[in-house]
Chains A and B, each alone.
Chain A
């Protein structure tokens, strides 16, 4: 395994709703355990009889990490505890915490143990017998929190993955859609799909209100019949600012444009190379050059995202700080793209909205 061929990470605990999440009868080649196993902690090494293979320095660091966690818990501003005195949100290699959200909950990876060094650990008298409390805490130090790297080293030396051997997760129970499901964008012209593919109900993520259904139920497709998407041009490997501030790249595309299918352009009375307004249901509009091409399908308009310096038809590049004006300026695609958040990451919606084309 040290030479390649790792299993899936057992990153979501060992069981969910009575179903085992560890691999069933499959393991990397020559693994001493030919089945699934949870991620490695000091307790795992201890049970397997490999704890003795840790060097004294590694053991001292593990002990120091554990005592730092205990010390943090004893402080009044330490991590919150529930009624049973158990630290909430704490990861355990054998029982996955409830309501664990993806990979974001890992309180043991930050905090006091970052200050721990091996020398300090040895000065702290690691040779004394640890108290039962400390022993319990040491058992919980895992491959992620062990600053010595010893748990990882010993696991790999035995041909086992420090992060465990789990199943690939196709059912992501802590996502809004445990199995990916098509949901129509907030602004959609396909009203016929809504009964089956409606978006989420409005909700709040921490302090942030995220509107979904209340936007989608409002039908704007009569006035804004075309799909508007945005993207990158192949000659511009970076984002907008890197591109328009590089004189060689800026030369390649000197005008902000919209790719419009010739049929849509004809309906709007727009010629190739003419200026058009791309108006959106958010109430914004951008003034860009029309590029008539069948590269976009009928009903779709594309905006590249490399320009800035204009705001709704007005050149405001004079507001750049001196010396920072890009070589080329134009409308920003972000002016036209839209409200919306990814349901899991809260990333902004930049790819799907509606628009209307008008000759400018």
Chain B
């Protein structure tokens, strides 16, 4: 069974924001909320690096472990999804997540959060695939259409890879071998471990 992963090659990312823009347009994510975002470290300094970050769909995802209403679940291809009808906006997942993936588009007058929103790996949610309800809550379900996440499909330098972990780590291995430097697979040591880590 395929195990879907993201891989951002920090040696290739040029901070063009095509991934974040593609994501927002595809899923109609409002201003101020970013399912995927770019983090630049050492901006304008020698050795500047940019990485594109979204939910990494972790092995043994900490958000699943802490959710008090068990609304977060992992699919058979490793994608971490959640049920917005069950979510109570407690924010535990936000504290647990090592990548800052959970977002809360709505706020109330009393400071409580609305339903959590995060990257779905373009795989929608628990509703029927491709349904209007699914689109409204979670955005497009490209996986059900046999397509990969749009952010990676859109990446101009192929820094961001999405797909079966075995295949994308193989692509990355060949790439680093060929260019002779860099393990810039940002976040893999945190997100995946054990047999799922690959190389």
B-binding residues in A (CB < 8 A):
234-235, 237, 247-249, 251-252, 259, 293-295
Task: Take A248-B24, A248-B25, A251-B31 as given contacts and tell me if A234 and B44 are in contact as well, using a CB distance cutoff of 8 Å.
Answer: no
Instruction: Verify B16–A234 contact, CB threshold 8 A.
Output: yes
A235 contact set on B, CB distance < 8 A: 15-18, 21
Instruction: Verify A252–B21 contact, CB threshold 8 A.
Output: yes
Instruction: Verify B17–A293 contact, CB threshold 8 A.
Output: no
From A234, A247, A259, residue with most partner B Cβ within 10 Å: A234
Instruction: Kindly identify, within residues 1 to 60 of chain B, every residue whose CB is under 8 Å from any CB belonging to chain A.
Output: 14-18, 20-21, 24-25, 31-32, 43-45
A251 contact set on B, CB distance < 8 A: 24, 31-32
Instruction: Verify A293–B43 contact, CB threshold 8 A.
Output: yes
A296: nearest chain-B partner, CB-CB: B44
Instruction: Verify A252–B45 contact, CB threshold 8 A.
Output: no
B44: contacting residue among A247, A248, A252, A293, CB under 8 A: A293
B15: contacting residue among A234, A248, A249, CB under 8 A: A234
How far in angstroms is the closest Cβ of chain B from A92? 47
A327: nearest chain-B partner, CB-CB: B31
Task: Take A293-B43, A295-B44 as given contacts and tell me if A252 and B17 are in contact as well, using a CB distance cutoff of 8 Å.
Answer: yes
From B15, B17, B45, residue with most partner A Cβ within 10 Å: B17
Q: Report Cα–Cα, A249/B44, bound state, in Å.
A: 21
Q: Report Cα–Cα, A246/B191, bound state, in Å.
A: 34
A-binding residues in B (CB < 8 A):
14-18, 20-21, 24-25, 31-32, 43-45
Q: Report Cα–Cα, A234/B156, bound state, in Å.
A: 11
How far in angstroms is the closest Cβ of chain B from A235? 4
From A237, A247, A248, A293, residue with most partner B Cβ within 10 Å: A248
Q: Could you tell me the dominant secondary structure of chain B's interface residues?
A: loop
A259: nearest chain-B partner, CB-CB: B44
Instruction: Verify A249–B14 contact, CB threshold 8 A.
Output: no
How far in angstroms is the closest Cβ of chain A from B199? 30
Instruction: Verify A249–B21 contact, CB threshold 8 A.
Output: yes
B14 contact set on A, CB distance < 8 A: 234
Instruction: Verify A294–B44 contact, CB threshold 8 A.
Output: yes
Q: Report Cα–Cα, A60/B22, bound state, in Å.
A: 54
Q: Report Cα–Cα, A336/B12, bound state, in Å.
A: 34
Q: Report Cα–Cα, A235/B22, bound state, in Å.
A: 12
Known A-B contacts: A249-B21, A295-B44. Give 20 more (CB < 8 A): A234-B14, A234-B16, A234-B17, A235-B15, A235-B16, A235-B17, A247-B31, A248-B21, A248-B24, A248-B25, A251-B24, A251-B31, A251-B32, A252-B17, A259-B44, A293-B43, A293-B44, A294-B44, A294-B45, A295-B43
Q: Report Cα–Cα, A249/B25, bound state, in Å.
A: 10
How far in angstroms is the closest Cβ of chain B from A137? 52
How far in angstroms is the closest Cβ of chain B from A64? 49
How far in angstroms is the closest Cβ of chain B from A172? 35
Q: Report Cα–Cα, A8/B13, bound state, in Å.
A: 38
How far in angstroms is the closest Cβ of chain A from B140? 15
B17 contact set on A, CB distance < 8 A: 234-235, 252
Write 17 A-B pairs (CB below 8 A) sorted by A numbering. A234-B16, A234-B17, A235-B16, A235-B17, A235-B21, A248-B21, A248-B25, A249-B21, A251-B31, A252-B17, A252-B20, A259-B44, A293-B44, A294-B44, A294-B45, A295-B43, A295-B44
A259 contact set on B, CB distance < 8 A: 44
B45 contact set on A, CB distance < 8 A: 294
A294 contact set on B, CB distance < 8 A: 44-45
Q: Report Cα–Cα, A7/B44, bound state, in Å.
A: 44
Q: Report Cα–Cα, A169/B16, bound state, in Å.
A: 37
A295 contact set on B, CB distance < 8 A: 43-44
A261: nearest chain-B partner, CB-CB: B44
How far in angstroms is the closest Cβ of chain B from A290? 13
B25 contact set on A, CB distance < 8 A: 248
Q: Report Cα–Cα, A235/B154, bound state, in Å.
A: 13
B44 contact set on A, CB distance < 8 A: 259, 293-295
A292: nearest chain-B partner, CB-CB: B44
Q: Report Cα–Cα, A237/B24, bound state, in Å.
A: 17
A293 contact set on B, CB distance < 8 A: 43-44
B15 contact set on A, CB distance < 8 A: 234-235
B20 contact set on A, CB distance < 8 A: 252
Q: Report Cα–Cα, A266/B139, bound state, in Å.
A: 47
B16 contact set on A, CB distance < 8 A: 234-235, 237
Q: Report Cα–Cα, A295/B21, bound state, in Å.
A: 24
Q: Report Cα–Cα, A295/B45, bound state, in Å.
A: 7
